[in-house]
Amino acid sequence: MPPDTTQQTPSGLSDHEAALRLRRDGPNELPQDNRRTVLRIMLEVAREPMFQLLCAAGVVYLVLGDVGEALMLLGFVAITITITIVQEKRTENVLAALRDLTSPRALVIRDGERKRIAGREVVRGDLLVLAEGDRVPADARLLTASELQADESLLTGESVPVRKAADAGDRGSSDARPAARPGGDDLPFVFSGSLVVHGHGLAEVTATGGTSEIGRIGRALGAVESERTPLHTQTRRLVRILSLVGLALSAVVVVLYGLLRGDWVGGVLGGITLAMAMLPQEFLLIITVFLAMGAWRMSRQRVLSRRPATIETLGAATVLCTDKTGTLTQNRMSIAELDADGACWTPETGDLPESFHLLVEFGILASEIDPFDPMEKAFHVFGQQHLAGTEHLHERWVLAHAYGLAPELLAMSHVWRAVDRPEHVIAAKGAPEAIADLCHLPPPALAAVRSATERLAGRGMRVLGVARAAFAGDDWPGLQHDFDFEFLGLVALADPLRPTARNAVRECRAAGIKVAMITGDYPATALAIAAQAGIDVTGGAISGDELQAMTDDELRRRVRGATVFARIMPEQKLRIVEAYKANGEVVAMTGDGVNDAPSLKAAHIGIAMGSRGTDVAREASALVLLDDDFGSIVHAVRLGRRIYDNLKKAMAFVFAVHVPIAGLSLIPLLFGWPIVFMPVHIAFLELVIDPVCSIVFEAEPEEAGVMQRPPRDPRRRSSPAG
């Protein structure tokens, strides 16, 4: 049970009032795209020219009383529909399986009692009891807060938790949606989808469902149209042109056949036969088969393809826009550098020297015993790795008192009862300037701390100071300043890169794909992480404020040279993607947070994280990395280029086969010979034999140097057939 957050428990809403608000406002659920129903898929199939020709031929045979031929043609119709429905519904069902099996739970106060309810039942005005480890179910205004920190990375892209403070205003004055946005310290708002990593508090719900910050981003998805793949567009253009030519010739054949021979029914069948012979409908079927096989191959590498057509498009990608937190990085903090008495140590230099043991020891003592905060977890993990078996870990010590963070002093202290010492031991950690203030450092030492802090922060690290003190007796002072602290040094923490990130970026650049990083983090951190990952940072970073002041034309010019975008809001991510598209680029976008969803949907290829990613991000994407491995993107690009190369071979084969088929359909009509091919023969050739023969090309190995050549020109209007 979370600790009490107020001296007197408020009553909250009544169950009756909560039920009325739930009916009025609807459930607290995220907006979702409309699911593709079976009927919708069938209507899409019905618009295909080959489907319509098959149906027309089947109807003609039924009119003539030839039930056997009619049933065979209509059988092809049923097979086409079934294959399409099974393929489309399979990807929808796999995505649905990724959704949480139950809605997140929420602890609320109703009728003066604490009740655990489903997150979808939370309503505006509910009082939420928040504690460490809770997922915030709705946007809310904090009424009380005790050392509360929240991880808002899914909304902002910032990997470091932010501090929260109680609202000093009056209750009942909240608007329908908080005026503040996620990100930044000491704000009195918590947001749906964020995670409480430290402390506890009481909050009044101000917005649920579609009116929350997550919902606002979700609604933006409705205004974004999913981008058609270049292959899909090119192939449909070719099929449309050949269809018009074929239908025009077929109409001429029907008229001439009817006028010259007086056999209008035979003329209709001959016209349908010629149209089917000239219409390269196998192109779409072969593409479906190739991409389905590609989706299967990718699934073996833990990549789910929601829309298989995008696999091929990856082979044409010219720009890969990637998020930082959780995509390039692991979204977990680790100790990257220690600074004590002017000496520095990094994990790459080898074993931890004895001179740094005290710094790590007191950093652990200043952390929670069983932490949830990622930075405090990093201290414990580091201690187990480097101090195990030494006298610097104190499992038998008892926490006697604690001083929490406060806006006026960004430091926290733990007072320990040491079993082997007569006095109490105090460990403090916090912002370097706050720890330096507690230690009353002289000006030269203070200048050295500031210089070291700026050096580490400039490399994108979160820097904490650590200090120690001793105290006799149990009459604790009211302020941390009353202890006689000794400064021990600085600890720099970083969100480490994924192990595959550097190689993936290097391979993308070798393949002619520009890698750009878009993040909500600060410019210094963004540039540091981008440089570590191998992204070109010579163009500097464009901040969200700079981008806001740019026109669309200015942004189009800047994105040609910029690769790092920092402090970017969700709507600005969308503008960046649209600017790249306006420059003629084929854009792939990776992300895992709700703030990534609009840009994921707008990009030619949206790539979401399946393990850590949100439902909204996954539903807006075309590909889902089930193991969140950034390196899997390179495998997908390689596979996409191989698929395109093999498609060209298969379609060239099909195009060559169509020439004699069309000739054998047209020549008998011109010379008055008996018809060689009937519609059922054409259907069998084009829907069975041609795809089966061309499938051999799918297994062809990739071309030499497939990842050392630039992407194909996305503005080229040729299809794989020519």
Q: What is residue 111's three-state secondary structure? A: coil
Strand partners of residue 117: 106
The C-alpha atoms of residue 247 and residue 274 are separated, in whole angstroms, by 8
Pairing of strands 462-471, 486-494: antiparallel
CB 124 within 8 A of CB 290: no
Residue showing tokens 């253009």? 237
Nearest C-alpha neighbor of 208 from the set 133, 132, 118, 147: 118
CB-based contacts of 709, cutoff 8 Å, min separation 6 = 511, 512
Tokens describing residue 172 = 């009942």
Rg, C-alpha atoms of the chain? 32
Cα–Cα distances (Å) from 59 to 55, 251, 272, 525, in that order, read: 6, 18, 12, 67
CB-based contacts of 656, cutoff 8 Å, min separation 6 = none
Q: Does residue 596 have an active-site annotation?
A: no
Dihedral sign for Cα atoms in the order 238, 244, 245, 247: positive
Q: For 2-8, which contacts have Cβ atoms below 8 Å and span 24 or more sequence positions?
A: 2/107, 2/129, 2/130, 2/131, 2/134, 2/200, 3/131, 3/146, 3/200, 5/129, 5/130, 5/143, 5/144, 5/145, 5/146, 5/200, 5/201, 5/202, 6/143, 6/144, 6/202
Strand partners of residue 514: 319
Burial of 97 (0-12, 13-18, 19+ CB in 10 A): exposed
The C-alpha atoms of residue 249 and residue 240 are separated, in whole angstroms, by 14
Cα–Cα distances (Å) from 479 to 94, 405, 412, in that order, read: 56, 11, 11
Nearest C-alpha neighbor of 178 from the set 207, 218, 136: 207
Residue showing tokens 């567009």? 233
Residue of 323, 521, 615, 628 with catalytic role? 323
CB 125 within 8 A of CB 19: no
Cα–Cα distances (Å) from 609 to 76, 450, 481, 568, 674, in that order, read: 38, 38, 45, 20, 60
The C-alpha atoms of residue 154 and residue 617 are separated, in whole angstroms, by 10
360 phi and psi angles, rounded to 5 deg: -70, -40
Active-site residue numbers?
323
